[in-house]
Structure 1
Amino acid sequence: MSTSAYKILITEPIPQKTISFLEDFGKVVVGEKGAYQSEDRLIEDISQYHALLCMLSTPVTEQVLKHGDNLEIVANFAVGYDNINVEAAHEMGIKVANTPDVLTEACGDYAMGLLLALSRKFKEAEQYLRDGKFKGWEPLGFLGMELRGRTLGIIGMGRIGQAFANRAKAFGMNIIYHNRTPVDRDIEQQLDATYISDHKELAKKCDVLSLNCPLTDETHHLVDQELLAIMKDHALLVNISRGAVIDEEALAEALHQKAIAGAALDVFEEEPKVHPELLSAPNTLLLPHIASATHKTREAIGQLAAEAIVAVLQGKPNHEIPNLISR
């Protein structure tokens, strides 16, 4: 098949550099923002496309894949891929790709920024000023937590967890972590990080709990009422992984009852909806899934996904496409 015969669907607008790269290879259709957050819309359109470049909000279900008569690859514009039925795709001979590595540093910066903003009450202090309440320096105004000497507990010590740990270490924090298995000893030594085999024990020990793990059956609602109850009452929670790692109702209750001191969340279980009790919770920083939102990173994400699409449509073997998700 000539390259001009290939049709590629990008489910919503992304950096033009990626679109132009794919336009050199086939006919590209870009959906409007939010157009393909519906399974029904995808089922209706997918049969005409050879490749799908989709977002985390795109439900690439088994039914969608069954209607992909010409579909050869699904490339996610993200490092995660819990929106895709990978097992069903593989059974149908459809390849799946994600975008690891390229967003590590942006997410590490962002996690550190969330922690700084939360621990020093930036949001509340700015709103206080904007509301005209600032009448001069106040010795008891907006007192927060200093990070030096505090303990950061990380659940999920992958690339992003390590990037956050590296930044937190520079602020003088002590690093403990929980992972399915310990990281290499040289990484532990570089980060001065201590492995904790039980995530509940980690939650008891830390002043800041950061979630950097993928969403799996094991991590779904990992942070629940029980875990929140054993955390320190001055502890802060940071989540840039996936919303469903947290039981949002339990978290909202813990925040309202001041069982923990605050939470900074970039992701939510039913995006774009946010649990209404979180919206009114004290010392809560809620942001619209922007951890990777830099020009450089979003262009790199698009390029990596696009390169996987081109490689698959050109018939390159799997071992030459490093970001394919294996069985």
Structure 2
Amino acid sequence: MPAERLSVVVTRRLPDSVETRMKELFEVELSAEDAKMSREQLVDAMKRADVLVPCVTDRIDASMLAQAGERLKLIANYGAGVDHIDVSSARQRGVLVANTPGVVTEDTADMTMALILAVTRRIPEGLAHMQSGDWQGWAPTAFMGHRIGGKRLGILGMGRIGQAVARRARAFGMQIHYHNRKKLHPDIEAEFEATYWESLDQMVSRMDVISVNCPHTPSTFHLLNARRLQMMKPEAVIVNTSRGEVIDENALTRALRAGDLGGAGLDVFEHGAEINPRLRAQKNVVLLPHMGSATVEGRVEMGEKVLINIKTFADGHRPPDLVVPAMV
């Protein structure tokens, strides 16, 4: 007799090709409505599944894991970030956590550059003006922004995505600076002609553009707080395609409203979909609905990594993208 197939619960809709392959390999419960699960629904899903496939919208804390029972053995996250999962509590209960690293690096770096250009060149303002039908033709002083060539880009977090951003920014003629937990290998620094700043305070006060590319951890929460935002040059721009919690969003809103910053481009927000309406009203702010990884190719690759993690686990081996608490 064939071995009993793993029971897998998927919390949100995934690309059709991924869902089809999951049905072929496992006993799968798919999400027909693609609606965010409540805490109670997530706990119930963990009680009846061998494997849970959540995503960034599913916050799984210690109290929920305590109610999960003994059946759950693997959380195969659809996405690279796992700050929404209490990885330490999961491991203490014998539940492995896997993710999908490296898949969205290029897509997120592309979006970072798009936001830098959108804010500095006032693209959304121009687009809105054209859509309003009010445009009367070219004018010498209309919609003047700033060029990015020759400007200093400060990258906060020089991992895979930070380096991909640096590679693109160099092609635009930007000067690369970075702050990281550890200084990069000299060969990597040489590739980008990058300048390392051990002091984040010193870096932010000198940059024209700050790009947030670090994960959300207890040590990075509000890393860009009111004090550091006040250090920035009044014409400086902040772009965030990582995690909203890294920036104190209320402090950022106050700085922008006071004219203490040149602008911001945000793809992620501190409180998820609950965005400060005063921030939304700023003309020099570009807000996107967490689109950094939203390419067909990237989302399919994420699903393929999830499939490999589950299949490897089902075969009795360690998932290739296993997350351990020390990594978080």
Query: Does structure 1 conserve the Cα–Cα contact (< 8 Å) formed by 2:7 and 2:28?
Result: yes
* Residues in 2 aligned to 1:100 and 1:111: alpha-carbon distance in whole angstroms: 18
Which region of structure 1 is more displaced relative to structure 2, 20-29 or 165-174?
20-29
Aligned to 1:57: 57
- Matched position secondary structure for 2:154: strand
1:185 is aligned to: 186
Structure 1: gaps spanning 5 or more residues: none
Separation in 1 of the partners of 2:277 and 2:2?
51
Deviation at residue 58 of structure 1 after TM alignment: 0.4
* Alignment RMSD (CA, Å): 1.3
- 2-side partners of 1:227 and 1:315: how far apart? 48
- The residue number in structure 2 matching 1:322 is 320
Write out per-residue CA displacement over residues 126-147 of structure 1, whole angstroms, 9 at most, x where no aligned residue. 1011112210101111111101
Q: How does 1:105-184 map to 2 (within 5 A)?
A: 105-184=106-185
Question: For the Cα contact (< 8 Å) 2:10–2:29, is it kept in 1?
Answer: yes
Stretch moving more, 229-238 or 267-276: 267-276
Alpha-carbon displacement from aligned partner over 1:100-156 (angstroms, at most 9, x marks no partner): 111111111111111111110000011011112210101111111101110000000
TM-fit CA distance, 1:326? 2.0
The number of equivalent residue pairs is: 323
Please give the secondary structure, in 2, of the residue aligned with 1:285.
Answer: strand
SS class of match (1:214): coil
Distance across 2 between alignment mates of 1:207 and 1:223: 15
**What fraction of aligned residue pairs are identical, expressed as a percent?**
37
Asked if the contact 1:249/1:277 (under 8 Å) is kept, the reply is: no
For the residue of structure 1 that corresponds to 2:312, the secondary structure is helix
Query: Is 1:4–1:27's contact at 8 Å kept on the other side of the alignment?
Result: no
- Is structure 2 residue 33 aligned with structure 1 residue 35? no
Q: Deviations over 1:42-81 (max 9, x none)?
A: 1123211010111101011223222143111101111110
Instruction: Report SS of the residue matched to 1:269.
Output: coil
The answer on whether the counterparts of 1:154 and 1:211 sit within 8 Å (CA) in structure 2 is yes
Residues in 1 aligned to 2:324 and 2:225: alpha-carbon distance in whole angstroms:
31
Q: Aligned residue for 2:255?
A: 254
Q: Deviations over 1:280-323 (max 9, x none)?
A: 1231000000101111111001110121012112211x2xx331
Structure 1, 70-79 or 229-238: larger mean CA deviation:
70-79
| TM-score scaled by length of structure 2 | 0.96
Q: Under a length normalisation based on structure 1, what TM-score does the superposition of the two structures give?
A: 0.96
Q: Which residue identity does 1:250 align to in structure 2?
A: A
Q: Which blocks of at least 5 consecutive residues in structure 2 are unaligned?
A: none
The residue type paired with residue 238 of structure 1 is: V
What is the CA–CA distance in structure 2 between the aligned matches of 1:222 and 1:117, rounded to whole Å?
Answer: 24
Q: Deviations over 1:202-255 (max 9, x none)?
A: 101100000000111111011111111110011000001101111110000111
- Structure 1 residues 200 and 107, CA, compared in 2 at 3 Å: closer, same or farther? same
Q: Is the alpha carbon distance of 1:86 and 1:134 closer, same or farther for their aligned partners in structure 2, counting shifts above 3 Å? A: same
- 260 and 2 in structure 1: CA distance in 2 versus 1, 3 angstrom threshold: farther
Deviation, structure 1 residue 2: 5.0
Which secondary structure does the structure 1 equivalent of 2:8 belong to? strand
Residue 282 in structure 1 maps to residue 280 in structure 2: no
| Matched AA of 1:136 | G
After TM superposition, which residue ranges in structure 1, 4 or more long, deviate above 4 angstroms? 1-4
CA deviation map 1:165-190 (0-9, x unaligned): 10000000000000000111111100
Give the secondary-structure state (helix, strand or coil) at the position aligned to 1:213: coil
Number of the residue aligned with 2:24: 24
For residue 108 of structure 1, give the secondary structure of its aligned residue in structure 2: helix
Which residue of structure 1 lines up, in the alignment, with residue 303 of structure 2? 302
Instruction: Identify the residue that residue 90 of structure 1 maps to in structure 2.
Output: 91
Q: Which moved more, 1:144-153 or 1:4-13?
A: 4-13
> What is the CA–CA distance in structure 2 between the aligned matches of 1:179 and 1:2, rounded to whole Å?
50
- Secondary structure class of the residue paired with 1:205: coil
Partner-residue secondary structure (3-state), 2:71: coil
Contact 2:36 2:57 in 1 (8 A): no
Write the distance in 1 (CA, Å) between the matches of 2:146 and 2:320. 42
**Aligned residue type for 1:296:** E
Letter in 2 for 1:148: G
